[in-house]
Amino acid sequence: MICMENPSDLKKQLFVEFEGEQGVDEGGVSKEFFLLVLEEIFNLDIGMFTYDKDTKLFWFNSSSLENEAQYTLVGIVMGLAIYNNCILDVHFPMVVYRKLMGKKGTFLDLSDSHPVYIYIIFFVKSV
């Protein structure tokens, strides 16, 4: 809600300083900050996302107790990281990136995000 009051604040360079640590933020401290935040966000014990070991992709946890605002905050944090030139090691199915670009997902996106469903659909169809 605070960031929506003045969205231009999101376009300011972020400078991070860890309490009790010396160091000038020339990008490394910011990157460490985002890595620590994202590690917590994608922690499976938190429950916002699920992880598929076969595809090595994250997906939104349908049984998460978090509300939409929490996911919006995740998007803002990821956007801030990108805006501040921090490359993130987060892997979503291509359908998520298509949606971010304003495109619609297709049936074929299931092969990327949920390959087991495609196998089941084609197996059932051929029987």
Q: What's the Cα-to-Cα distance from 3 to each of 38, 66, 68, 79, 85, rounded to whole Å?
A: 19, 19, 15, 12, 20
Q: What is the chain's pLDDT, residue by residue, as a tens digit (127 residues)?
A: 556 677 777 777 777 777 776 665 566 778 888 889 999 999 999 999 999 898 899 999 989 988 888 998 898 888 888 888 888 888 998 888 888 889 988 877 777 766 666 556 555 555 5
The per-residue pLDDT for 17 is: 72
Distance (Å, whole) CA 36 – CA 103: 31
Contact between 44 and 51 under an 8 Å Cβ cutoff? The reply is yes
The per-residue pLDDT for 110 is: 74
The per-residue pLDDT for 114 is: 67
Distance (Å, whole) CA 101 – CA 77: 18
Give the 3-state DSSP-derived string for 75-116, with helices as H, strands as E and coil as C.
HHHHHHHHHCCCCCCCCCCHHHHHHHCCCCCCHHHHHHHCHH
The per-residue pLDDT for 107 is: 75
The per-residue pLDDT for 33 is: 87
pTM of the model: 0.71
The helix/strand count (H/E) of the chain reads as 6, 2
Distance (Å, whole) CA 50 – CA 64: 10
State whether residue 49 is helix, strand or coil.
strand
The per-residue pLDDT for 39 is: 92
Contact between 49 and 96 under an 8 Å Cβ cutoff? The reply is no
Domains of the chain, first to last: 2-92 (3.90.1750.10), 93-127 (no CATH)
